Amino acid sequence: MYETQYVPQMERGASSLTELKYGIVRPKRRITKNDSIHVHKYLEIFFNVNSDAVFFVNNALYPTRPGEAIVSRANDLHVCSFDPAAIQEYFCLWIELDRAVELLSFLDGSDFSPHFSFEPEVAREMHSLLETLYELFNRQDCELERIVAVLRILLILKGTASKSESALSLPETMREMLGYIDGSFSEISSVTDIAHRYFVSTATLNRYFRQYVGTTPRKYLESKKLSHAVQLLDGGSSVTEASIASGFTDTSHFIALFKRSFGTTPLKYKKRQ
């Protein structure tokens, strides 16, 4: 008499790795204009290959040397400043895991630092894995190799997360300004409101943000509003509701700004969810 065949229990904790999606670029050029501050729904891994850069992530500055990485999580506001005199070479990997979000649980927590510094041999392995993903990106027969490379990268990050370095300190006035914007962005109508609150001219305000954040206060304020709007749309709010709750007084302006920032209208974005 045969025993009943053992059936593995797959219902709880199963991950759908075939839903893994990624995009990757490998620029090698002189970058004279820094990226605009932005936010998106993907995990972003920036790996610096050959020169110094400075990242602003969630109100903190992180100098980044060759062989180091910056990891921006979904909805982390970030921007990178490059040395315009140098030829920049780096990898930027975006990962979307859909249902397999438990693979990123090690990135959660208030003590998370986006800056990752590796031992030399680990940095070389990261470089090699990213090179592999870049070469396999447009091939149709390498899904297993891609999944293995991505998982190995995530394992390296998981093993390094506790060793991540702290950020540079910002001047007190700059910290206060950023804190004010973070807590009141939906009520701030223009950068003039910020300048008046801290008794500085708009020119001085622009200089502060250019120096420490790498963007203008207007773009920073808009990015905070847009980031909040995206989260509201994801949560089921209508376009009008998301616009008003995020502090946009003109829905038409919100739609135009959203399309310029994300490449689609908020309504089309909402329908794709």
- What's the residue count for the chain? 273
When divided into structural domains, the chain yields a total of 2
As a dihedral over the C-alpha atoms of residue 89, residue 95, residue 101, residue 102, rounded to 10 degrees, the angle is -40
- 26 and 74 part of one domain: yes
For every one of its 273 residues, what pLDDT tens digit does the chain have, with 9 covering 90 and above?
Answer: 444 444 444 444 444 555 678 889 998 887 766 657 888 888 999 999 998 888 999 888 899 999 999 999 888 888 888 877 788 899 999 988 665 677 788 888 777 889 999 999 999 999 999 999 999 988 878 888 988 999 999 999 998 876 656 678 888 999 999 999 999 999 999 999 999 999 999 999 999 998 888 889 999 999 899 989 988 998 889 999 999 999 998 899 999 998 888 888 999 888 776
- 193 and 261 part of one domain: yes
Residue 6 counted as domain residue: no
d(CA 164, CA 111): 10
- Given this model, what pLDDT does residue 13 score? 45
Buried/exposed code over 151-190 (b: 16+ C-beta within 10 A; e: otherwise):
eebbebbeebbeebeebeebeeebeebbeebeeebeebee
Phi, psi (5° rounding) for residue 234? -60, -30
Helix then strand count (H, E) for the chain reads: 9, 9
How far is C-alpha 11 from the geometric centre of its chain's CA atoms?
31
CATH code of the domain containing 206: 1.10.10.60
- Given this model, what pLDDT does residue 71 score? 94
* Residue 190, helix vs strand vs coil: coil
Residue 10 counted as domain residue: no
- 33 and 157 part of one domain: yes
- 156 and 190 part of one domain: no
- 189 and 247 part of one domain: yes
- 115 and 232 part of one domain: no
Q: What angle do CA 199, 202, 205 make, to 5 degrees?
A: 75
- Given this model, what pLDDT does residue 170 score? 86
d(CA 145, CA 188): 48
- 95 and 189 part of one domain: no
Last residue of a domain, one of 132, 163, 194: 163
**One-letter amino acid for residue 155 of the chain:** L
- Given this model, what pLDDT does residue 92 score? 93
* Element housing 82 (H / E): strand 78-82
Unique residue bearing structure tokens 């990962």: 95
Residue 130 counted as domain residue: yes
Based on the number of CB atoms within 10 Å of its own CB, is 134 exposed (0-12), middle (13-18) or buried (19 or more)? Answer: middle
Enclosing domain of residue 196: 172-272
Residue 11 counted as domain residue: no
Distances (CA, A) of 253 to 6, 31, 237, 266: 60, 30, 18, 12
> By C-alpha distance, which of 51, 55, 97 is closest to 72?
55
Q: What angle do CA 199, 204, 206 make, to 5 degrees?
A: 120
